[in-house]
């Protein structure tokens, strides 16, 4: 499939074991020390094993970890902006240090993967917080998660034995699968779009503007762990299916889910999201305002500016930067600050926080902000959640 962009690092990683090899490792894994891991770590395991996090073959060792914190690169110089690590219980340090392998289990005790213990090292959460999130305030959800973890990390290659159960299996594609789909559809230029929110008209505007110049759109919403006040993934998924059904050319869009957790790391996560979509086969990636942001921790366009620190060749994927877009009553349609000459009094702009509040109170956002079909799905979905 020479018509599809090469994965990050040049090789699409595959650490998923099957057949006799899986059977042999499963038998051995029963005798390894067992470490229970969270849903977030399970999602990282899946992303590593299927190649979404290529070129990673496991959780970062100390040398790569330090390099990512300081330089946004692995120790071999490959661009990588977010540390993907495995915290392990401090009280089990001596036990883990004595063995070559550990088994990683879910909360039900099922063995999901094995990891070769190549490194065992301690981290300082404040240092990581300030490097990755640019703050050490516990009000930041990414920082809060860091401080809840053990400061002891284990690094090494992993092998996936059992795929974690996933609620959106029908839309869950491995990078090898999306690459094959793009190839079969004849898509050479594919634009990826990351979201953890419903698609409102501003998002639709960006996606369709990009679609004018590429072969296909890969709509790739994140459905892993998010903040408690984000709209639930199942409600969002129904809203995506609804808007695609009514307003998008079906033959030019693929909807798939991104199983990873949200880090809320702003600029660094924008780079991370771009590299992941490159692994899925995207040659372009949309970066709008405040990508992966939370609160007021990052500047509106910091997630775009950070791309200037890397060359096009070493990133491999081309970012498409968009201004904040909105509906202008004077223009009579969607526009942005780059193209609209009118006063802000004519602009229909709502924050995500305000929209969530409106929806939770049964108030429909205006049609200039969100398609009526999407609003209906969101209001019904959230009402059912409250009633439960």
Alpha helices in 51-140 (DSSP H): 62-71, 93-97, 125-128
Whole-angstrom distance, CA of residue 222 vs CA of residue 228 = 14
Return the half-sphere exposure (C-beta side, CA atoms, 13 A cut-off) of residue 102.
29
The angle at the Cα of 387, spanning 386 to 388, to the nearest 5 degrees, equals 90
Distance in angstroms (rounded) separating the CA atoms of residues 256 and 281: 12
Alpha carbons 344 and 9: distance in angstroms, whole number: 45
Catalytic one of 106, 153, 179, 196 = 196
Please, are residues 255 and 241 in contact by the beta-carbon 8 Å criterion? yes
Catalytic residue among 40, 66, 73, 197: 197
Is 197 catalytic? The answer is yes
Q: Do the Cβ atoms of 298 and 290 come closer than 8 Å?
A: yes
CB 35 within 8 A of CB 104: yes
> 306 with 291: CB under 8 angstroms?
no
The tokens describing 123, both together, are: 């981290």
d(CA 51, CA 104): 19
DSSP state of 366: P
**Pairing outcome for strands 119-122 and 34-36:** unpaired
Copy the structure tokens of residue 313: 């060749």
Both tokens assigned to 294: 């939370």
Show which residues are catalytic.
Answer: 196-197
């Amino acid at each position: 499939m020479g018509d599809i962009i090469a994965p990050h690092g040049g090789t699409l990683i595959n650490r998923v074991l099957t057949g006799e090899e899986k059977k042999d490792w499963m038998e051995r894994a029963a005798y390894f020390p067992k470490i229970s891991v969270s849903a977030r770590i399970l999602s990282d395991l899946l992303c590593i094993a299927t190649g979404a996090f290529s070129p990673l073959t496991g959780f970062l060792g100390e040398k790569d970890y330090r390099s990512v914190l300081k330089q946004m690169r692995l120790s071999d110089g490959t661009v990588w902006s977010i540390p993907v690590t495995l915290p392990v219980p401090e009280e089990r340090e001596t036990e883990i240090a004595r063995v070559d392998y550990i088994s990683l289990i879910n909360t039900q005790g099922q063995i999901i993967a094995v990891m070769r213990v190549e490194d065992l090292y301690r981290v300082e959460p404040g240092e990581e917080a300030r490097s990755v999130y640019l703050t050490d305030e516990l009000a930041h959800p990414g920082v809060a998660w860091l401080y809840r973890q053990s400061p002891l990390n284990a690094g090494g290659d992993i092998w996936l034995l059992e795929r974690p159960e996933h609620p959106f299996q029908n839309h869950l594609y491995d990078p090898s699968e999306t690459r094959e789909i793009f190839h079969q559809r004849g898509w050479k230029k594919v634009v990826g779009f990351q979201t953890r929110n419903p698609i409102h008209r501003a998002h639709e505007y960006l996606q369709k503007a990009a679609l004018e110049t590429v072969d296909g759109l890969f709509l790739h919403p994140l459905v892993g762990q998010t903040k408690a006040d984000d709209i639930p993934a199942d409600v969002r998924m129904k809203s995506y299916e609804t808007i695609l059904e009514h307003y998008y050319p079906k033959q030019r869009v693929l909807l798939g889910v991104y199983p990873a957790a949200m880090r809320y790391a702003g600029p660094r996560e924008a780079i991370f999201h771009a590299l992941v979509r490159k692994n899925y086969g995207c040659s372009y990636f949309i970066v709008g305002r405040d990508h992966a942001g939370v609160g007021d921790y990052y500047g509106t366009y910091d997630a775009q500016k950070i791309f200037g620190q890397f060359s096009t060749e070493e990133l491999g994927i081309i970012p498409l930067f968009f201004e904040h877009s909105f509906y202008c009553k004077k223009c009579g349609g969607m526009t942005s600050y780059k193209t609209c000459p009118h006063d802000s009094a004519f602009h229909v702009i709502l924050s995500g926080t305000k929209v969530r509040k409106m929806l939770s109170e049964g108030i429909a956002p205006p049609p200039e902000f969100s398609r009526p079909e999407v609003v209906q799905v969101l209001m019904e979905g959230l009402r059912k959640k409250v009633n439960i």
